[in-house]
């Protein structure tokens, strides 16, 4: 949380501190840089609003987790064929 105090997300940033969590409120531009920053925070942040950004975050994290979801035999549901590449991905 200290880094948000030293380098606020926006001039109007407000931080409310709880015992085990903090709420940060700020008007920011929804940009690629913001989304990369949010993903870089991993489990340390939860987007509450706006709803569109919250849904994007949930979808992105679900997609990132999918290759690690194992079936009962310990194999990823995303893999197929003898080369076991994740489904939907192409070799470039």
Query: What pLDDT, on the 0 to 100 scale, is given for residue 87?
Result: 57
Whether 74 maps to a domain, the answer reads no
Helix 51-65 and helix 32-40: axis angle, to 10°? 50
26 pLDDT exceeds 90? yes
pTM recorded for the entire structure: 0.69
Whether 76 maps to a domain, the answer reads no
Query: What pLDDT, on the 0 to 100 scale, is given for residue 68?
Result: 85
88 vs 37 pLDDT, higher one: 37
Could you list the residue range(s) of the whole structural domain that residue 60 is in?
2-68
Whether 75 maps to a domain, the answer reads no
Closest CA to 58 of 78, 74, 35: 35
Whether 59 maps to a domain, the answer reads yes
């Amino acid at each position: 949380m200290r880094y948000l105090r030293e380098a606020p997300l926006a001039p109007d940033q407000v931080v409310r501190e709880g015992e085990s969590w903090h709420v940060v409120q700020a008007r920011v531009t929804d940009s690629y840089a913001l989304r990369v920053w949010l993903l870089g925070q991993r489990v340390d942040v939860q987007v509450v609003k706006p709803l569109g950004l919250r849904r994007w975050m949930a979808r992105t994290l679900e997609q990132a987790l999918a290759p690690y979801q194992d079936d009962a035999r310990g194999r990823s549901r995303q893999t197929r064929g003898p080369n076991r590449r994740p489904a939907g991905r192409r070799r470039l």
